[in-house]
């Protein structure tokens, strides 16, 4: 950890792997202990940079890192729902057969089972998504969201762990 003393950024991806049937919240007790150990060691090195947290449950561990580190809140960042948002945009683009760079929409809330899409702010080519889909296609949009929300479970079932999901 001594190499962290002059680092501008420390990215933390450590934690216990989520097993089939577990939720991200089931990891809290195990991963908070791991996170505390890492943060204590990094801070003991004299680190004064930014933490980027990508371990699950990411929102809780980001908050814990902020508390453990004593750093200002703007220097502890979590990946949050950024991966979910990317999957969401790509899935909509695939469905509508448009370039994903033209899809703007966000997954909000806590990363995991309680996240939700901001449909009212989702646009494609600058137009509300409702201009692109008929009422009959609303079910497809719901299916897209569920597949985005549950992507981690599919990855765990096929690969055994979610660290393959970011790739």
3-class DSSP string for 122-140: CEECCEEHHHCCCHHHHHH
Who's near 62: CB < 8 A, 6+ residues apart?
53, 76, 77, 78, 80
Catalytic residue among 5, 104, 111, 121: 111
Report cis status (omega within 30 of 0) of the bond before 57. Answer: yes
Q: Is 121 a catalytic residue?
A: no
Please give the order of strands across the beta sheet that includes 50-53. 9-12, 50-53, 76-78
Q: Which residues are catalytic?
A: 111
């Amino acid at each position: 950890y001594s190499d962290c003393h002059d680092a501008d950024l420390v990215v933390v991806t450590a934690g216990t792997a989520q097993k089939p049937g577990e939720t991200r919240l089931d990891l809290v007790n195990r991963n908070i202990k791991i996170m505390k150990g890492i943060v204590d060691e990094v801070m003991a090195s004299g680190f004064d940079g930014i933490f980027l947290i990508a371990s699950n449950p990411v929102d809780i561990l980001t908050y814990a890192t902020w508390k453990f580190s004593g750093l200002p809140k703007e220097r502890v960042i979590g990946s949050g729902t950024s991966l979910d948002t990317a999957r969401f945009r790509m899935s909509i683009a695939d469905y509508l057969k448009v370039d994903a760079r033209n899809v703007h929409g966000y997954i909000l809330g806590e990363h995991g089972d309680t996240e939700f899409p901001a449909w009212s702010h989702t646009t494609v080519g600058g137009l509300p998504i409702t201009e692109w889909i008929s009422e009959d296609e609303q079910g497809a949009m719901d299916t897209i969201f569920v597949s985005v929300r549950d992507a981690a479970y599919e990855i765990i079932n096929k690969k055994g762990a979610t660290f393959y999901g970011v790739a």
